[in-house]
């Protein structure tokens, strides 16, 4: 009896060890089947971006879809091929892994892709490469004075107001202290014997508020203060005519950059398709929203508005926030693509905004300030090689936008 159970025990243990070894073997076999050839990796990276897998997947963390790192460990390669080619067919076939995954991700549909096995394998090669050689964290762009936002007018107006208020408080305190001192002195003198008449008059003189207010000195001071304040406000007002810094209108659909660009890390360029190729950044059409919202949150009343817009064929009437006057020319690709400036430098932390707000004043002074203080992003741009060489011969400072004519009126005004 005893011997028999022992044998059963050993057999079970042996079986488990075998399973472990076998499955372990399979894990490595799968990963090892994914190529590490740099050429294939770069082809995979290209496909990953070109087919926009990157809008829903990251390698190391969850986005709209699962993190792809290690997918070759948890799935069979053949399974991955059929999944990418047509995930819905795989689910419909009753594949338990596919069904479980689909349910885990709230039945979000991943569209079918017309890709060859080899191409999918190259994408996996890219995924493996990123997983095993994670990219170095990017060194934050050095300031270069590019920190925009200030319009170069010295102390911000809000600080001035605080300083003025503090001064007023101090003055009032001094006044109160003086009045108390006068009171104490008067009392002291009154108690003192042997004052002559003249002194008594002074001590007993009643303070007349109306006489005080009517005195020419006080009227003069008050008039001066009122005029100065009014003038300051008028001048401030003139400077801010047409400046809409902080403008944050309500939009027809409660679209949140915080959810899309922040939580789900969808690239700005996915929606603002023009930023790298042209003057205007573009506001996305309903079709772009539908790439996801034909499946995501279909019951939400806000998303229903998208369906209504698509059905009626009328574009959504987003309220425009940033708007330069027609006399000024601004080009996004010049700044983003050539200049290498982050959106956030000019637009603030958009990925944290529920509702977009205008971050910069967009005044001429703001543009000019940055052009004076920002050195050119000349690295790897053959166009600039000769210019930089010439510049360095005559100047010890880095080449700024100013040095290529960034302050010339005609560059910004037609
Ligand atoms: C619109 C978003 C979206 C796009 C684009 C997308 N996927 Fe997916 N993918 C998903 C979702 C969501 C899942 C999880 C299953 C589900 O709900 O369908 C998934 C699952 C997967 C899986 C299985 C992962 C696992 O853990 O088993 C692989 C592999 C995959 N996707 C690869 C790709 C590739 C390759 C591309 C580009 C050719 C791509 N996906 C494009 C949304 C997307
Ligand atoms: C999923 C699509 C989507 C993504 C991703 C996205 N945006 Fe937007 N963006 C919109 C829509 C729609 C609007 C118009 C509605 C609004 O203002 O909220 C908009 C408006 C804006 C505006 C204001 C436009 C105006 O009227 O002046 C700025 C600036 C902006 N986005 C910058 C960004 C930046 C920077 C990122 C990346 C960090 C980004 N967006 C990512 C869809 C997107
Ligand atoms: C790449 C995929 C993707 C694209 C493109 C996209 N969204 Fe979204 N959207 C999401 C995800 C994911 C959520 C969050 C769903 C959740 O909270 O479960 C979401 C949530 C929303 C919500 C909130 C819905 C609610 O009731 O909670 C609104 C509104 C919305 N999106 C509007 C838009 C608009 C407008 C566009 C086009 C300019 C757009 N989305 C484009 C993926 C996307
Ligand atoms: C150097 C400053 C600067 C940078 C960097 C910048 N923008 Fe802009 N952006 C502006 C200005 C100025 C406007 C107003 C343009 C106008 O009215 O003609 C604007 C307008 C916009 C608009 C409104 C639509 C339009 O094209 O007029 C969107 C959307 C936008 N930017 C998105 C982005 C995104 C996304 C990025 C990053 C990829 C970015 N911007 C980078 C300055 C900048
Ligand atoms: C955050 C800094 C920054 C701000 C703000 C900025 N620019 Fe620029 N701008 C640059 C840089 C950097 C370049 C040089 C890009 C390159 O290498 O061509 C540039 C180049 C230009 C050029 C081309 C100059 C030339 O000689 O080729 C024009 C025109 C221009 N900007 C217009 C504007 C306008 C209009 C505004 C304000 C609405 C503005 N910029 C705001 C940084 C900025
Ligand atoms: C880097 C870009 C840039 C350069 C260079 C530039 N401007 Fe401007 N200018 C602007 C912008 C942007 C505005 C609009 C500002 C606003 O609406 O507050 C503007 C506005 C103006 C206005 C209208 C002012 C108003 O209040 O409506 C005049 C006039 C003007 N510029 C003249 C000039 C002259 C003259 C030069 C050359 C010495 C020059 N600008 C160089 C960007 C520039």
What's the pLDDT tens digit per position in 186-229? 888 877 777 777 777 777 776 677 777 788 888 899 999 999 99
Token output for 203: 């001590």
Interior/surface letters 231-249, b for 16+ CB within 10 angstroms, e for the rest: eeeeeeeeeeeeeeeebee
Q: Is the CB of 355 under 6 A from ligand 3?
A: no
Greater pLDDT, 363 or 152: 363
Greater pLDDT, 203 or 88: 88
Q: Residue 142: its pLDDT value, please? A: 41
Greater pLDDT, 100 or 193: 100
Question: How many angstroms separate the alpha carbon of residue 108 from the centre of ligand 3?
Answer: 13
Q: What is the pLDDT of residues 132-156, one digit of tens each?
A: 988 776 544 444 433 433 344 445 5
What is the band of 10 on the pLDDT scale with cuts at 50, 70, 90? low
Residue 328 per-residue DSSP state: B
Q: How far apart are CA 204 and CA 191, in angstroms?
A: 12
**What is the assigned CATH class of domain 33-132?**
mainly alpha
In which residue ranges of the chain is CATH 1.10.760.10 found? 33-132
Closest ligand relative to 388 C-alpha: 5
Q: Residue 99: its pLDDT value, please? A: 92
Token output for 210: 């109306």
Question: How many angstroms separate the alpha carbon of residue 337 from the centre of ligand 2?
Answer: 18
How far, CA to CA in Å, does 286 sit from each of 304, 316, 401?
A: 12, 8, 37
What is the band of 69 on the pLDDT scale with cuts at 50, 70, 90? very high
Q: Is the pLDDT of residue 5 over 60?
A: no
Closest ligand relative to 282 C-alpha: 4
Q: How far apart are CA 360 and CA 349, in angstroms?
A: 11
Percent of the chain with pLDDT over 70: 85
Average pLDDT of the residues of the chain: 83
Average pLDDT for 36-60 = 91
DSSP line for 166-178: HHHHHHHHHHHHH
402: nearest Cα among 371, 376, 378, 377: 371
Residue of minimum CA distance from atom 42 in ligand 3? 292
């Amino acid at each position: 009896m005893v011997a028999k159970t022992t044998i059963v025990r050993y057999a079970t243990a042996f079986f488990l060890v075998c399973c472990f070894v076998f499955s372990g073997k399979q894990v490595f076999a799968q990963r090892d089947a994914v190529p590490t050839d740099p050429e294939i990796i770069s082809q995979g990276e290209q496909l990953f971006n070109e087919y926009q897998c990157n809008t829903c997947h990251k390698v190391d963390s969850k986005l709209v879809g699962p993190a792809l790192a290690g997918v070759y460990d948890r799935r069979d390669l053949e399974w991955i091929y059929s999944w990418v080619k047509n995930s819905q067919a795989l689910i419909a076939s009753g594949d338990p892994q596919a069904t479980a995954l689909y349910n885990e991700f709230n039945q979000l549909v991943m569209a079918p892709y017309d890709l060859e096995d080899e191409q999918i394998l190259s994408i996996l090669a890219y995924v493996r490469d990123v997983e095993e050689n994670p990219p170095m964290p990017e060194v934050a762009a050095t300031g270069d004075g590019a920190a925009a936002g200030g319009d170069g007018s010295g102390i911000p107006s809000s600080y001035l107001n605080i300083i003025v208020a503090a001064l007023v408080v101090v003055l009032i305190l001094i006044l109160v202290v003086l009045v108390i001192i006068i009171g104490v002195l008067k009392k002291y003198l009154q108690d003192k014997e042997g004052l002559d008449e003249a002194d008594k008059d002074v001590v007993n003189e009643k303070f007349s508020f109306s006489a005080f207010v009517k005195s020419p000195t006080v009227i003069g001071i008050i008039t001066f203060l009122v005029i100065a304040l009014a003038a300051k406000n008028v001048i401030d007002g003139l400077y801010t005519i047409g400046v809409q810094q902080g403008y944050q209108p309500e939009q027809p659909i409660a679209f949140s950059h915080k959810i899309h660009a922040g939580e789900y890390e969808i690239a700005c360029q996915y929606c603002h398709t023009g930023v790298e190729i042209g003057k205007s950044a573009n506001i996305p059409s309903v079709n772009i929203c539908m790439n996801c919202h034909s499946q995501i949150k279909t019951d939400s009343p806000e998303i229903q508005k998208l369906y209504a817009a698509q059905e009626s064929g009328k574009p959504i009437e987003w309220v425009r926030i940033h708007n330069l006057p027609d006399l000024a020319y601004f080009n996004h690709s010049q700044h983003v693509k050539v200049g290498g400036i982050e959106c956030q430098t000019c637009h603030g932390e958009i990925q944290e905004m529920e509702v977009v707000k205008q971050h910069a004043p967009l005044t001429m002074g703001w543009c000019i300030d940055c052009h004076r203080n920002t050195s050119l992003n000349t690295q790897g741009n053959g166009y600039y090689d000769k210019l930089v060489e010439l510049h360095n011969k005559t100047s010890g400072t880095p080449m700024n936008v100013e040095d290529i004519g960034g302050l010339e009126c005609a560059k910004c005004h037609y």
